Amino acid sequence: MLKQDTPESKVVTLLEQAKKFNFVAVCINSVWIPLAKKMLAGTNVKICTVVGFPLGAIPAECKAFETRHAVKNGADEIDMVINIGFLKDKKYTEVLHDIYSVVKAAGSKCVKVIIECCLLTEQEKIKACELCVAAGANYVKTSTGFSKGGATLEDVFLMKETVGDKAKVKAAGGIRTYKDAVKFIWAGADRIGTSGGHNIYKP
């Protein structure tokens, strides 16, 4: 639930669905963390928030601040967006610093790195995944869902092949059905990010 026009009522509905279906986590903008912490108390549902979202084009220091603030307020997981322009310019040291700044700020919390596959070449996807592993990220993630494309099976295959057992893969963006979710899991996704989890869920 990351759209900019989201009212509190929709966040409440999401949190209620997460409790009902025992989802791993809810992914929300950081302003809603206090509400989520209150509503999810006593459950196993984790609170995930986004950093540098959705463009990634802010200084690493700002992403680190966002991360520390989110963790202090109750976030269990961080989904950050890399600096895609830096990656395309082959400024790999800067991209590594960008990711590591968030990993360090998150401490023991899970960090998932969104590389926005739809904007990258195959070699750029591979390099992005390698940098995520080098920086100590827990996951590489396909998409924000806010660009020109979402997750593809081909991207998940490639990402899983690249990171191996050194990181996990989260497929997100455009996954709406149970059949699609199963395909992405088969392709190597360890986690599915979707706004339609309540429709996908099957007991």
Question: How far is 115 from 128, CA to CA, in rounded Å?
Answer: 7
Instruction: Choose, from 125, 141, 160, 168, the residue flagged as catalytic.
Output: 141
Q: Which residue's entry shows tokens 């700002």?
A: 62
Helix axes 122-135, 92-106, angle to 10 degrees: 40
Instruction: Choose, from 46, 63, 76, 79, the residue flagged as catalytic.
Output: 79
Phi/psi class of residue 164: alpha, beta or left (left: φ > 0; alpha: ψ in -120 to 50)?
Answer: left
Question: How far is 129 from 136, CA to CA, in rounded Å?
Answer: 11
63 a catalytic residue: no
Instruction: Choose, from 63, 127, 160, 170, the residue flagged as catalytic.
Output: 170
Spell out the SS3 assignment of 2-67. CCCCCCHHHHHHHHHHHHHHCCCEEEECHHHHHHHHHHCCCCCCEEEEEECCCCCCCCHHHHHHHH
170 a catalytic residue: yes
**Sign of the CA dihedral with 20 first, then 187, 150, and 164 last:** positive
141 a catalytic residue: yes
The one-letter amino acid at 146: F
Task: Give catalytic residue positions.
Answer: 79, 141, 170
